[in-house]
Amino acid sequence: MSNASYKIAVLTGDGIAPEVMAEARKVLDIIEKKFDTTFNYDEQLVGGAAIDATGQALPAETLAACEKADAILFGSVGGPKWESLPPAEQPERAALLPLRKHFGLFANLRPSICFPSLTQASPVKEDRIEGGFDVLCVRELTGGLYFGEPKEIRTEDGEQVAIDTMVYKASEIERIARIAFKAAQGRDGRLTSIDKANVLQNGVLWRQVVEQVAKDFPDVKLDHLYVDNAAMQLVARPKTFDVVLAENLFGDILSDEMAMITGSLGMLSSASLGESKGDGLYFGMFEPSGGTAPDIAGQGIANPVAQILSVAMMLRFSFGMNEAADAIDAAVKATIDAGYRTGDIYSGDEGTQKVGTVEMGDAICSQLS
96 binds, among ligand IPM, Mg ion, none (CB under 5 to 8 A by kind): ligand IPM
Measured between alpha carbons, how far is residue 290 from residues 15, 59, 296 in Å? 11, 23, 13
Q: What phi, psi does 71 have (nearest 5°)?
A: -165, 160
When asked if residue 252 is in the footprint of ligand IPM (CB under 6 A), the reply is yes
Least spacing, CB of residue 97 vs ligand IPM, in Å: 6
Active site residue 196: yes
Q: Which stretch binds ligand IPM (CB under 6 A): 9-17, 22-30, 90-98, 311-319?
A: 90-98
Q: Which stretch binds Mg ion (CB under 5 A): 12-20, 22-30, 251-259, 329-337?
A: 251-259
Which residue lies nearer to ligand IPM by CB, 109 or 327?
A: 109
Nearest to 368 by CA among 360, 287, 75, 290: 360
Least spacing, CB of residue 136 vs ligand IPM, in Å: 15
When asked if residue 172 is in the footprint of ligand IPM (CB under 6 A), the reply is no
When asked if residue 247 is in the footprint of ligand IPM (CB under 6 A), the reply is no
When asked if residue 96 is in the footprint of ligand IPM (CB under 6 A), the reply is yes
When asked if residue 92 is in the footprint of ligand IPM (CB under 6 A), the reply is yes
Q: What is the maximum span of the chain, computed from C-alpha positions, in angstroms? A: 69
Residue nearest to ligand IPM (CB): 92
* Residues sharing a CB contact under 8 Å with residue 271, sequence separation 6 or more, in sequence order: 107, 108, 109, 284, 285, 286, 310, 313, 314, 317
Active site residue 215: no
When asked if residue 23 is in the footprint of ligand IPM (CB under 6 A), the reply is no
Active site residue 282: no
Among candidate residues 26, 70, 146, 242, the one labeled active-site is 146
Whole-number Å distance between alpha carbons of 66 and 87: 24
Give the rounded distance of the alpha carbon of 221 from its chain centre: 25
Active site residue 146: yes
Least spacing, CB of residue 355 vs ligand IPM, in Å: 27
Active site residue 29: no
Q: By CB neighbour count within 10 A (0-12 exposed, 13-18 middle, 19+ buried), where does 126 fall?
A: exposed
Pair 81, 16: CB distance under 8 Å: no
Q: Residues interacting with ligand IPM, by CB under 6 A?
A: 92, 96-97, 252
Annotated catalytic residues are 146, 196, 228, 252, 256
